[in-house]
Structure 1
Amino acid sequence: MSYQGVYEQIVQGRAGAWALAALSGEVRAVRHPLGFVCLPLERDGGEGVCIHLWSDSFAPARSTTSQIHCHSWDLVSHVLYGQVRNVHAVVTDAELDATHRVFEVVSGVDGDRISPTRRTVRQATGVVESFGPGDLYTLPADRFHSSVVPEGGEAATIALGRGHPGSHDLSLGPLGAGDHHVSRRPLDAEETALAVRLITAHVS
């Protein structure tokens, strides 16, 4: 089903039914560097649909930068269950008193190439939005933020992305970190099956 088709399912109140049907097919989950499990379901050019799962049942991937990032695509996110906080970051260019360096993230089939830019910044927490089951929220490309689930909490969202021409995937990281590559580790068949069971148990 296309991006637009999934979006229509969500706004018509059939998000759970769509998720259950999508997860009944072949899917391979990936441990995402931002701390969740990603189940990619649809990809067509610059548009994509995934289910994101936060659960203590899975060890998180190791992050080499931070959870604060911005997308090169516009995000539409629907909460299937649990609570998700969208924490906006206030990022100000700085030199002598900088707290972070901006890194560009280029994703490929073998993982992410993370490259430092010359831009250094100060970061502070901005508006914190909280969303629960059935909520839909959007985030334009180029907005620094982090997605946070309360400690010990379980949550899943349908994430729809639409590419924004001229934008880049960025992350805030240590000032002195260099260019490096991070592999995205796929979950094995047993772990993927567990992820599907956790989601379907909450959505059913």
Structure 2
Amino acid sequence: MSGMTLYCTLSEAIKNGRTDQVSEWATGVLDEVASGRGETAAIRHPLGFLCLPVHRQGDEGVCVHLWGPLWHTSLTTLPTHCHSWELLSCVLTGELHNQVISVIDDNAAPTHRVFEVHSSADGDEIRPTARRVRHETASVDVYRSGDCYELPAGVFHQTVVPDLTELVVTVALGLTNPNAVDLSLADLDMSTHRVRRRKCDRGETIAAASIAHQAIAAGVPLTGHQ
């Protein structure tokens, strides 16, 4: 696969059901970070998970995401949001639910407002729009170790980990859509504010990578299905 970007290599593996290849790659990355050889620093995401940003090249991004009891957080918005990028995700261990949310414009009896999320290296600026809405769950899909799923840019969703004591590890691939904007839902009277993305120190990063590496290694082989 010489000449291919990491994004293309992993995307091709996922789309062809070779999730064992994705797991091998992630295990190697986590082992490198856990041993102190890797330079990647974990970031505490405002939505309550830990992100290891492994690759960024132009519109392409590859991260390892960790959900677990150590990284829960209090949100200033609802967890319901949509990305400005196409998501391709592979679950390596644990179980998560992807809830697709219908957002309905409603000026008569709105429950929430749509906010734009403008991200930078140190955090997000969350700005209210004029759009007032209500929302409802359209579908819920359950994904476990070896499962992969896609989510187009602009689709509102919510990632739910049903067992808050469980560790969930995913590889998340993102491809920027220039016509989309990061959005979130929040209270009607919420004003513009900033939410920090805190970079973990070396010890925290190594510990998290070690926990994730051990969890994947202890799991059953991935079956490679979508």
If the TM-score is normalised by the length of the shorter chain, which range does it land in? over 0.9
Name the SS for the 1:52 alignment partner.
strand
Q: In angstroms, what is the RMSD of aligned CA positions?
A: 1.2
Name the SS for the 1:6 alignment partner.
helix
- The gaps in structure 1 that reach 5 residues or longer are none
Aligned twin of 1:15: 22
Name the SS for the 1:190 alignment partner.
helix
Compare 13-22 and 140-149 and name the one that shifted more. 13-22
1:65 and 2:77 correspond: yes
Tell me which protein shows more helix as a share of its residues: 2
Aligned twin of 1:166: 179
Please tell me the residue identity of whatever aligns with 1:17. Answer: E
Larger Rg: 2
1:122 and 2:134 correspond: yes
Please tell me the residue identity of whatever aligns with 2:198. Answer: R
- Mapped to 2, the partners of 1:84 and 1:61 lie a distance apart of 17
1:197 and 2:206 correspond: no
Asked if the contact 1:80–1:155 (Cα under 8 Å) also holds between the matched residues in 2, the reply is yes
- Mapped to 1, the partners of 2:119 and 2:79 lie a distance apart of 16
Query: 1:96 Cα shift?
Result: 2.4
Out of 181, 192, 196, the position equivalent to 2:194 is 181
Aligned twin of 1:76: 88
- The gaps in structure 2 that reach 5 residues or longer are 33-37, 218-226
**Cα distance per residue 1:111-148 (max 9 Å; x no partner):** 11110000010011120000000101000000000001
Out of 61, 69, 73, the position equivalent to 1:56 is 69
Compare 3-12 and 183-192 and name the one that shifted more. 3-12
Asked if the contact 1:31–1:61 (Cα under 8 Å) also holds between the matched residues in 2, the reply is no
Please tell me the residue identity of whatever aligns with 1:133. Answer: S
Number of residue equivalences? 203
Name the SS for the 1:95 alignment partner.
coil
Compare 18-27 and 192-201 and name the one that shifted more. 18-27
- Mapped to 2, the partners of 1:74 and 1:142 lie a distance apart of 8
Out of 5, 8, 11, the position equivalent to 2:9 is 5
Asked if the contact 1:9–1:18 (Cα under 8 Å) also holds between the matched residues in 2, the reply is no
Please tell me the residue identity of whatever aligns with 2:133. Answer: V
Aligned twin of 2:118: 106
Please tell me the residue identity of whatever aligns with 2:112. Answer: H
Query: 1:43 Cα shift?
Result: 0.3
Please tell me the residue identity of whatever aligns with 1:15. Answer: V
Name the SS for the 2:190 alignment partner.
coil
**Cα distance per residue 1:158-190 (max 9 Å; x no partner):** 000001121000000010001111110111222
- Mapped to 1, the partners of 2:204 and 2:43 lie a distance apart of 10
Query: 1:104 Cα shift?
Result: 0.2
- Mapped to 1, the partners of 2:178 and 2:197 lie a distance apart of 25
- Mapped to 2, the partners of 1:28 and 1:22 lie a distance apart of 12
Aligned twin of 2:40: 27
Name the SS for the 1:116 alignment partner.
strand
